[in-house]
Structure 1
Amino acid sequence: MTDTTTSNSTPPSLLGRLLYSGVLTIMAVDGFRNNDKRVDIARESGVPMPNVMVPFATGLLLVANLGILLWKYPRASAGALIVFFLGTTPFIHNFWTMEGKERQANKINFQKNVALLGGALLILNEAATDDDQS
């Protein structure tokens, strides 16, 4: 008997993707709701064209998240998340340039984003493994 179930359709994979996507959905919705504040933060951090880059990055986060959740183009979606986290985390959560409570809050967000980046790398690997098994 051959097991034709791919790793992305097992209960742990489905639950993991649901939990991961839940966090990313909250981040994207919050990003759209607080766009003006995020544009100001990006501008202060030296991000070029923050009025364009912030909504673009938030949209990238949302679309890539949906791709992971629905397992549609998972390699491209995981790659987009990797680009998102590598492109935003060190510029927006540069805690090493801050002091006090601002430093602590940004350090926590930096570490959260690094963990989410790690998750995107695992998803990229799972998607590549699924491609190899097809």
Structure 2
Amino acid sequence: MLDTIPIQATELFSSAGAAEVFFLARLLFGATLAFMGLNHFMMTDGLAGYSEAKGIPAPRLATLFSGGLLLFGGLGVAAGAFVALAAGGLAVFLLVSAVTIHDFWAVPEDQQQDQMTQFLKNVVMAGASLAFLALSSATWPYALGISLL
């Protein structure tokens, strides 16, 4: 059986450069998702049409909602504000959209590779979201530190 050593929140970012690397990771992750969210607003018609073809109910509303979730979730993680809500919402959205929008197993063979790549991208980003969620109760360096509680 593997023993674990509890780590105090103050020790999480105590090694040299850890705070800066964690901040950079948040910026890269959050800015990418926020940009994806902006794309949902700039390309609403095309994405809503794609969502409709995938059987998503109220596709235009779903596109706008998902754009807002990506935008504010990404900004929340990057800024260190409302992290539990931001990271948790992103994890759920990314896993649901991986299965419903990027269902590579249900598309024609010539589309399978692209959809598998998109599916795996969502799964990886959901994993990162869960990691940020797990760390959401810690004090983050270079963060606004705003939360619901």
Normalising to structure 2: TM-score of the pair? 0.77
Alpha carbon RMSD of aligned pairs, Å? 2.1
Identity %: 29
1:16 paired to 2:25 = yes
What amino acid is aligned across from residue 20 of structure 1 in structure 2?
F
> CA deviation digits over 1:34-59, x for unaligned, max 9?
21111111111111111211111111
Query: Closer, same or farther in 2 for the Cα pair 1:6/1:72, shift >3 Å?
Result: farther
Name the SS for the 1:127 alignment partner.
coil
TM-aligned CA deviation for residue 27 of structure 1: 1.4
Query: Closer, same or farther in 2 for the Cα pair 1:111/1:30, shift >3 Å?
Result: same
Structure 2 residues not aligned, in runs of 5+: 1-8, 141-149
What corresponds to 2:113 in structure 1? 104
What corresponds to 1:59 in structure 2? 68
What is the aligned counterpart of 1:26 among 35, 38, 46? Answer: 35
Name the SS for the 1:48 alignment partner.
coil
TM-aligned CA deviation for residue 12 of structure 1: 1.3
Greater helix share, 1 or 2? 1
What corresponds to 2:93 in structure 1? 84
8 Å CA contact 1:6–1:130 kept in 2: the answer is no
What corresponds to 2:80 in structure 1? 71
What corresponds to 1:117 in structure 2? 126
TM-aligned CA deviation for residue 22 of structure 1: 2.6
TM-aligned CA deviation for residue 112 of structure 1: 0.5
TM-aligned CA deviation for residue 4 of structure 1: 5.5
Structure 1 residues not aligned, in runs of 5+: none
8 Å CA contact 1:82–1:121 kept in 2: the answer is yes
The 10-residue stretch of structure 1 (46-55 or 95-104) with the greater mean CA deviation from structure 2: 95-104
TM-aligned CA deviation for residue 6 of structure 1: 6.5
What amino acid is aligned across from residue 84 of structure 1 in structure 2?
F
TM-aligned CA deviation for residue 129 of structure 1: 4.0
TM-aligned CA deviation for residue 94 of structure 1: 0.7
Pairs within 5 Å for 1:36-47: 36-47=45-56
Normalising to structure 1: TM-score of the pair? 0.85
